[in-house]
Amino acid sequence: MNGKLLLAGIGGQGVLFAHQLLARCAAEQGYDVTGAETHGMSQRGGAVVSHVKIRSPSSPQPAPSGQLGDAPLIRQGTADFLIAFAETEALRALPFLRRGGTLVVNTASPRFLDDMTRAGLDEHVTVRALDAMAIAERLGRRSVANVVLLGFASTCRAFPLTGDALRAALQGHGSKSWQSNLQAFDEGVRAGSDPHEPSH
Amino acid sequence: MTQAVVLGNEAIARGLIEAGVQVMTAYPGTPSSEILPAVLTWKRRLQLNIHVEWSVNEKVALEVALGASWAGKRAAVAMKQVGLNVASDALLSAAYTGIVGGLVLIVCDDPGPHSSQTEQDTRLFALFAKVPVLDPATPREAKAMAHAAFTLSEQFRVPVILRPTVRVSHARQNVTLADVAARARPAHFKKEPARWAATPRHRLLLHEELNRKLETVEAAFESSPFNRQSELTARRSPLGVIACGVPYASARELLDEFGVTIPVLKIGTVYPLPRKLASDFVARCETVLVLEEPDAAVELQLPDRRNVHGRLDGTVPNAGELTPEVLHAILARLLTKAALLAPAAPASPWADFAKSLALPARPPRLCPGCSHRSAFYALRRIFPSALYAGDIGCYTLGTNLRAVDTCLDMGASITIATGLYQAYRLNDEQQPIVASIGDSTFLHSGVTGLANAVHTGARFVLVILDNGTTAMTGFQPTADDTRLADGSRGPRVAIPKLVRACGVRYLRESDPYDQGEFRAALEEAAAFTRDDDGGVAVVIARRPCVLYDRSPLDAQPIAVEVTDECDGCKYCLVAFECPSLLLNPATDKVEIDRATCVDCGQCIDGCYKGFIIEKEFASPVPGSLFRTP
Ligand code: SF4
Ligand code: SF4
């Protein structure tokens, strides 16, 4: 399984953590992984994008998005998944998504999907929206919204990493709060699998 | 041997460790800051005997490493590209003297630029300094090069520069970690005055020696594994590509995506350029495209550029990062021209849609609760018509509060303020001038400027924003701290004592969170600059960075609320500019964003009408987004 994932958010939302988790998980699964992070000035509340490219070393066949090499950046129009931690950043990073790709977005606005439909984008991309912040708030830790969204993303069709693999990576991450992270992740997975959950 | 997913900078650190580095120095600067901490991590984990220090500036860092090299140790020094400007005096001279233990400089470039004041090309600096330079394309290659750089340095007795760009330094990739053998070399400085203390007559001999060394380095580079040719055919190819670094990795991917096979020469050893290898390649192609960042170091060294296109003839833009989008456009155009590719549709179907949305720009801002904001807000109130000379750090973002009018380089707040003062003095004008500089930057390059300002009779207010750490680059300790890089203790070099020692006669330390007292200190300072007997007045604004040390805030949280009387005048949004103050468009009143507010209470002063007040029952918000990551 090959894949190009673009993460977009705002400095402070845990985009780097999400990137590191995905990259570590991919490596644990035996994939080659490469990608680019945003550090420094732009981290102070600015728009942050992270590029994650996962490639299976044994299968040199190209992904739907093209051949994957060692280049850290994903070219616009070629990302398989865009995981956006804020609505504005989803729209800002939209040019990266390829035709047929999937947008996973954290949004509190039930109108977001309608807006996408009106713009005609849902004909070309799959949009999956979740109010991950509300779930994180329910869990009492707003800072885990990023992990909730990752759990949700892992339920998407053709997502290159399985929920189980990501859970294992979370457990092995060595962070003190892995238990509450795991809980957040599972809530995200539940929201993704449960048709009754208000995932808009 | 194990596998690990690491940042490019961590891969470089691991390469240094595996090569047996014994002295590691650095001054922090994006995108280079993670190298030294990673060396520290492995030093601890593997219990290695390595001296690691955050030096006061890049010149100091390079000289400390060089001294250790002269005593036979393998030494490395890391900095960002503009840091090499500061260290250049040492570098150019060290190229002549040569080294004993391997000396590797890791200098990170920032095409874009993303976090720097210039897009300068360190590879051109290497050419100017006559020092070999390596240009990695990926973290994996950067790690291999870090190791090889030591071998090279010792083989030819020259300093060697490893030059990653931000997209290598901040790339994350799985790399193989090799075993580390503990290496102990004796410290032994062999006296040789004609080299280590050479007079101009000997300097000429050393220059000639350096030229001879570079010839042998170039000969060695002709067969370096860091240079690779692919898809060479017997026929002359209509188009070939010479590429370095990240543009090589991106171009490689694009060519695969296009499904075209053309000759590609990857150059990893940029200076001295293996000219025979490059010339042979150029001769076998009808046209050659050179892709490199951020400037034209390889292209400039090509002996025959008649069929060569690149930065110099405008085929490749001569500023900005070579993103995959930019490279896609260039390659598609040239391949189509050479009839190797059919013209294709633009890649991103929704680029125009996204543009049409006019999304709110997200310029970087000072964090909620940042003590710099409080200091700048007070400055704006006391000095409404001042000229504000700023400096480099988080507090450059004082531009958002219109309390920073200039930003040049490290330490220039003080010297630019001096120049501004002298200009207005010539016209007998009393123009209020305020300089602001952070603690780490003051120690880096501010002290000399301050001594000069005092000595030459300049008059302005200098605010030293002392938040106890080098916040912008990830909270490295400064010399005004008893903590050293590795957590051990050392004597503190106190900023107030340095200020006094520069001859400053007005000095006050004040907490900018105490707005009343802080403004009083500024007023007094202003008066001192106007006194008959006045001069430079220094106010040290002392308050820890909220991201670095939250304990004072947690001990005394002040939760605030906006009263119903708020009339939506937006004064606080513009003048106080805390990201946690939001205008609710439905009610046209300002609200506190509970997700990000850190309960510092500073915005109470930010509404002059008194509509932001302390909440009666303070309740800290759990898990705020802006807590220490
Ligand atoms: S990191 Fe610290 S110094 Fe920098 S903007 Fe945030 S609070 Fe201010
Ligand atoms: S209390 Fe006021 S100034 Fe402090 S973080 Fe909250 S909104 Fe910003």
List, for residues B460-509, the tens digit of each pLDDT value: 999 999 998 888 888 899 999 889 998 899 999 999 999 999 999 999 99
The answer on B271 and B185 residing in a single domain is no
Quick one: pLDDT at residue B359?
81
- What's the pLDDT score for residue B316? 97
Contact A91 B362 (CB under 8 A): no
Is any Cβ of chain B less than 8 angstroms from the Cβ of A67?
yes
Choose among B358, B30, B15, B536: nearest CA to A92.
Answer: B358
Q: Which atom of ligand 1 is nearest to the CA of B546?
A: 7
Q: Is residue B428 situated within a structural domain? A: yes
All residues of chain A having their beta carbon less than 8 Å from the beta carbon of residue B353 are: 94, 119, 121
Q: What's the CATH code of the domain at A68?
A: 3.40.920.10
Please check whether residues B17 and B150 belong to one and the same domain. Answer: yes
Looking at residue B431, what is its pLDDT?
A: 97
Give the distance from CA B189 to its chain's centroid.
Answer: 33
> What atom of ligand 1 comes closest to residue B397's alpha carbon?
5
> Considering the domain boundaries, does residue A197 fall inside one?
no
The nearest CA of chain B is from the CA of A198 a distance in Å of: 22
Length of chain A: 200
How far, rounded to the nearest angstrom, does the alpha carbon of residue B171 sit from its chain's CA centroid? Answer: 16
User: How many C-beta atoms surround the C-beta of residue B360 within 10 A?
Assistant: 9
Range of the domain at A129: 3-192
A36 to chain B, any CB pair closer than 8 A? The answer is yes
Residue B373: nearest ligand to its CA?
A: 1
The 3 state secondary structure assigned to B20-49 is CCCEEEECCCCCCCCHHHHHHHHHHHHCCC
One domain for residues B47 and B148: yes
Strands B387-389 and B433-438, bridge-based pairing: parallel
Query: Which residues on A lie below 8 Å from B137 (Cβ)?
Result: 70
Burial (0-12, 13-18, 19+ Cβ within 10 Å), A120: exposed
Q: What is the DSSP string of A19-48?
A: HHHHHHHHHHTT-EEEEE---GGGGTTSEE
Q: Which residues contact A121 (CB under 8 A, 6 or more apart)?
A: A94, A127, B350, B353
Structure ipTM: 0.89
Q: Report the pLDDT value the prediction gives residue B622, as an integer from 0 to 100.
A: 44
Question: CA–CA separation, B370 vs B394, rounded Å?
Answer: 10
Q: Which residues of A touch B170 (CB under 8 A)?
A: 36-39
User: What domain range is B285 assigned to?
Assistant: 228-348
**Which strands form A126-130's sheet, in the order they lie side by side?**
A32-36, A47-55, A3-10, A79-84, A97-106, A126-130
| Rounded average pLDDT over A164-189 | 88
Query: Of the candidates B262, B264, B223, B258, which has an alpha carbon nearest to the alpha carbon of residue B242?
Result: B264
Query: Using alpha carbons only, what angle is made at residue A86 by residues A83 and A88, rounded to the nearest 5 degrees?
Result: 110
Ligand nearest to the CA of B440: 1
Establish if A200 belongs to a structural domain. Answer: no
CB B317 within 8 A of CB B326: yes
Domain total for chain A? 1
Residue B453 sits in the same domain as residue B579: no
Question: Nearest 5 degrees, angle CA B83-CA B460-CA B503?
Answer: 80
pLDDT in tens, B340-353: 888 776 656 677 77
Q: How far apart are CA A103 and CA B359, in angstroms?
A: 18
| Same domain assignment for residues B106 and B239 | no
Which of B35, B266, B362, B582 to substitute to test the interface with A, most A CBs within 10 Å? B362
Interface test with chain A among B174, B326, B577, B578, by most A beta carbons within 10 Å: B174
Q: What is the pLDDT of residue A135?
A: 96
- Within a domain: B344: yes
* CB within 8 Å: B5 and A39: no
Rounded to whole angstroms, how far apart are CA atoms B364 and A45?
5
pLDDT in tens, B456-471: 999 999 999 999 888 8
Same domain for B389 and B496, yes or no, is yes
Which residues are paired to B51 by β-bridges? B23
Q: Is the pLDDT of residue B17 over 90?
A: yes
> How many of the other CB atoms lie within 10 Å of CB of B278?
24
| Number of structural domains chain B divides into | 4
Q: How far apart are CA B624 and CA A145, in angstroms?
A: 11
Q: B149 and B211 in one domain? A: yes
Which two three-digit tokens encode residue B469? Answer: 């750490």
3-state helix/strand/coil string of B401-460? HCCCCECCCCCHHHHHHHHHHHHHHHCCCCCCEEEEEEHHHHHHHHHHHHHHHHHCCCCC
Tell if the CB–CB gap between A33 and B172 is shorter than 8 Å. Answer: yes
| Domain match, B249 and B301 both | yes
pLDDT value of position B162: 98
Evaluate if residue B409 carries a pLDDT over 80: yes
The residue out of B191, B221, B251 marking a domain boundary is B221
- Residue B294 near residue B245, CB atoms below 8 Å: no
Domain boundary among B516, B548, B580: B548
Question: For A32-41, B20-29, B242-251, which range has the lowest pLDDT when averaged over its residues?
Answer: A32-41
Q: Is A198 domain-assigned? A: no
B457: left (phi over 0), alpha (psi -120 to 50) or beta: left
Atom 4 in ligand 1: residue holding the nearest Cα: B394
Calpha distance B185→B205 (Å, rounded): 29
Angle in degrees, CA B4, B9, B15, rounded to 5 = 70
SS (H, E, C) B509-574: EECCCCHHHHHHHHHHHHHHHHCCCCCCEEEEEECCCCCCCCHHHHHCCCCEEECCCCCCCCHHHH
Per residue in B412-450, pLDDT tens? 999 999 999 999 999 999 999 999 999 999 999 999 999
Task: Look at A92 and B354 and tell me if their CB atoms are within 8 Å.
Answer: yes
Residues 6+ apart with CB under 8 A from A89: A8, A9, A10, A47, A48, A49
Quick check: is A78 in a domain? yes
Q: Is B620 a member of any domain?
A: no
Residue A95 is nearest to which of B168, B350, B596, comparing CB atoms?
Answer: B350
Residue with tokens 């690491």: B6
Confirm whether A98 is domain-assigned: yes
The CA B493 to ligand 2 mean position distance, Å, reads 33
Please check whether residues B97 and B145 belong to one and the same domain: yes
DSSP H or E segment with residue B174: strand B172-177
pLDDT of residue A120: 78
Whether residue B11 is found in the same domain as residue B159: yes
pLDDT greater than 80 at residue B609: yes
B319: burial class by Cβ within 10 Å (0-12, 13-18, 19+)? exposed
| Whether B210 and B86 share a structural domain | yes
- CATH number of the domain enclosing B569: 3.30.70.20
What's the pLDDT at B629?
A: 31
Same domain? For B576 and B523 the reply is no
B629 CB within 8 Å of a chain A CB: yes
> DSSP class of residue B394?
G
> Token pair for residue A58?
């044994």
The tokens 């062999």 sit on which residue?
B190
